[in-house]
Amino acid sequence: MAAADSAPPTTFNALIRGVLGRCPRCGQGPLLHRYLKIVGECSSCGEPYGHFRADDAPPWLTILIVGHLIAPFFLLIEENFELTTATELAILLPLIIGLTLAVLPRCKGAILAVMWVTKAEGTEPG
Ligand SMILES: [Zn+2]
């Protein structure tokens, strides 16, 4: 509770806490549970998060990031190796799927942190 009673975090700190999956306000309690489900409220400071609706923003940001990470690798493979399509798929698909699964909760935490900082909480009741 001590962190919650102090001054609010800077936007950057709240964003980093969100990316790490922590409460943007106190940085202690988890922001997500069961992979992508938003907690109702922070277990540490009690900040309510259950009414936030990130909608399609986290997948959009994930596609943007993963696409930019994979595209150079894909071009490198295409230009330097003569692999069959099946071999390319065997290399790229696990990489794409793994990166997507790793990046998506980080993006959701970041979007939720931005929503919390800007007080863009959505219109649905908690
Ligand atoms: Zn908290």
**Mean pLDDT of all residues in 61-76:** 96
The residue whose two tokens read 């690798």 is: 73
- The DSSP secondary-structure symbol of 100 reads H
CA 104 to chain CA centroid, Å, is 5
Cα 37 to ligand 1 centre (Å): 16
Contact 14, 24 (CB under 8 A): yes
Cα 102 to ligand 1 centre (Å): 23
Question: What is the C-alpha to C-alpha distance for residues 50 and 78, in angstroms, rounded to an integer?
Answer: 45
Task: Let me know the angle formed at the C-alpha of 46 by 43 and 50, rounded to the nearest 5 degrees.
Answer: 85
Cα 83 to ligand 1 centre (Å): 50
pLDDT reading at 120 higher than 60? yes
pTM reported for the whole predicted model: 0.86
Question: What is the C-alpha to C-alpha distance for residues 126 and 114, in angstroms, rounded to an integer?
Answer: 18
